Amino acid sequence: MTRWSTPKLHWFKLDFDGSAQSNCQAGGGVIRDHLGNTVAAYADNLRNNTVTQAEGMALLWGLKMANSIEIKYLEIEGDSQIIVDYVKGNTSAVWRVEPILRDIRCLMVKMEDFSIRHIFKEGNRAVDSMAADRRLQNGLRC
Q: Convert the pLDDT of each residue in 108-122 to its tens digit.
A: 999 999 999 998 765
pLDDT band at 129 (very low <50, low <70, confident <90, very high): low
Domain boundaries, given as residue ranges, for the chain: 15-134
Between 46 and 59, the more confident residue is 59
Mean pLDDT of 15-37: 87
Q: pTM of the entire structure?
A: 0.83
Q: What is the 3-state secondary structure (H, E, C) of the chain?
A: CCCCCCCCCCCEEEEEEEEEECCEEEEEEEEECCCCCEEEEEEEEEECCCHHHHHHHHHHHHHHHHHHCCCCEEEEEECCHHHHHHHHCCCCCCCCCHHHHHHHHHHHCCCCEEEEEECCHHHHHHHHHHHHHHCCCCCCEC
Domain with residues 15-134, CATH architecture = 2-Layer Sandwich (3.30)
